[in-house]
Each structure stands twice: as structure tokens, then as C-alpha cells.
Copies of this chain bind each other. A is one copy, B any other.
Amino acid sequence: MKIKTGSRLLFTGDSITDVGRVRPIGEAPYGLGEGYPKLVSGMLTAFLPELKIHVLNTGISGNTIRDLRARWQTDVLDQNPDWVSMMIGVNDVWRHFDRPFEPNIWVSKEEYIKTYRELIEMTKDKVKGMVLIAPYYIDKNETDPMTAMVRDFASVVKELAKEYQVIFCDVQKEFDEAQKNLHHMGISVDRVHPNGGNSPGHFILAKSFLKSVECWPIE
């Protein structure tokens, strides 16, 4: 595994990461919520206890990258993580479509790129590693403008990961793969939030993360 023994691993992001985690800071073993951070922590503790990874979660439902920027110091840097994993962007896109009369709450691609850079630059030298999980939308219809825009934001993340030489985690690919045997309705009815906590969708996210840090399969 890329993450060293005894590391503090902090997940942050939006509702896909939050899933009811404890405030102000969610921590293992009881404060992580019911999403993929809990599953990652549970599997690492059960199957790789010798790694002694302590997991934290500071995702907040509804966050865009603009919100995340505003709390990055207190909710990420002040927690002294060794590794930071972030997944942000679907709300930045989504608001263009479900809140079409409120342009002030939309985050443009430009703002997204600029802010994403700031977060990486504020963090990179203070931690041992970063994982950038790209935003996803479990919809194959690329003519849909939201699908297209999520894909576009995801490609931004991929490029930034390359540029800054941090880990890129491509969950969209995992979901695309999973759909060969499972209709998206069995994973997520709104194509964003996995149906229920500790659910198949969150296992796919957890696996995708663990693969990105070379810790899969788990035996």
C-alpha cells in the first residue's frame, strides 16, 4: 500500500463523503458516517490492522468547491492528515440544472479549476500524499448537458492530478464497469448518491479508492 503505517487519512468532500458523519470532525471508529470512508476504515482495520491507519471524514452535504475552500484550513489542514482524499464537484455542476434561476450559486469551470489548484497548493507540501477522486454521474447519455459537464469537470481533475503528480482515482470507470451487471437504479436512484449507507455503491467507491492507493484486492 502506498499509505505508510500509522498514517492519518482524511476524506473530505460533499454528501457522497459525508453520509451522516459526526460534527465537527468525523473520526474512526464511530464518527465516519455510513459512506465509503467508513467502509475503507472498516476493511483496513479488519484485514490490514498492522497498517494502523486512522481515518477522518470532513465531508459536508451540499458542498461545492467554493464551500470546501472556505473551510479547508479548519477542516483539512488543522486536522494534521498524512494523506488527504477529496471528491468534490458534482454539486458545482448540479446547481446549474436543479437551481436554474440562481446563477449566483453555480460554480463555473473556471472557478472550479482555479479553486482546485488553490486547494492542492495549500496542501501538497504539508502531507505525504493526496488522492483526487473525480466527480461522477452514473448516466451513459452524454448528450445530457449535466452528464457532459460532469465528464468535463472530471477531466479537469484528471489533468490536475497529472500536473501536480498526485493520485487520481477514477470512480466513473468503476461505475461504468459495475453497470455491466447492475442497472444504475440498483446503485443510485439519482445517479449520484449510492442508495442507502454501507451499500453496494459505497463498496464500489471504497474499492476504487483502495485500488488507487494499491491496496486492492484485500485478502
Contact = CB atoms under 8 A, between A and B. Distances in A.
A100 to B, nearest CB: 6
A99 B186 CA distance: 7
Q: Which of A101, A203, A217 has the most CB of B within 10 A?
A: A101
A200 B27 CA distance: 14
Contacts of A215: none
A21 interface: no
A198 B39 contact: yes
Contact of A101 (B34, B52, B139, B195): B52
B101 A203 contact: no
Interface string A86-115: 000000001011111110000000000000
Interface in A194-211: 195-204, 207
26 contacts: A6-B101, A29-B98, A29-B195, A29-B196, A38-B198, A42-B200, A42-B202, A45-B203, A46-B200, A46-B204, A49-B178, A49-B182, A49-B186, A50-B181, A52-B100, A52-B101, A54-B102, A97-B183, A98-B186, A98-B195, A99-B186, A139-B141, A145-B183, A190-B190, A197-B198, A217-B219
A120 to B, nearest CB: 26
Q: How many copies of this chain?
A: 8
Which 8 A/B pairs are nearest by Cβ-Cβ distance?
A46-B203, A49-B181, A141-B141, A97-B183, A54-B101, A46-B200, A98-B185, A97-B185
A98 B217 contact: no
Interface residues of A, number: 57
A101 B53 contact: yes
Contacts of A186: 29, 45, 49, 97-100
A123 to B, nearest CB: 21
Interface in A45-63: 45-47, 49-50, 52-54
Contacts of A143: 140-141
A184 B144 CA distance: 10
B46 A178 contact: yes
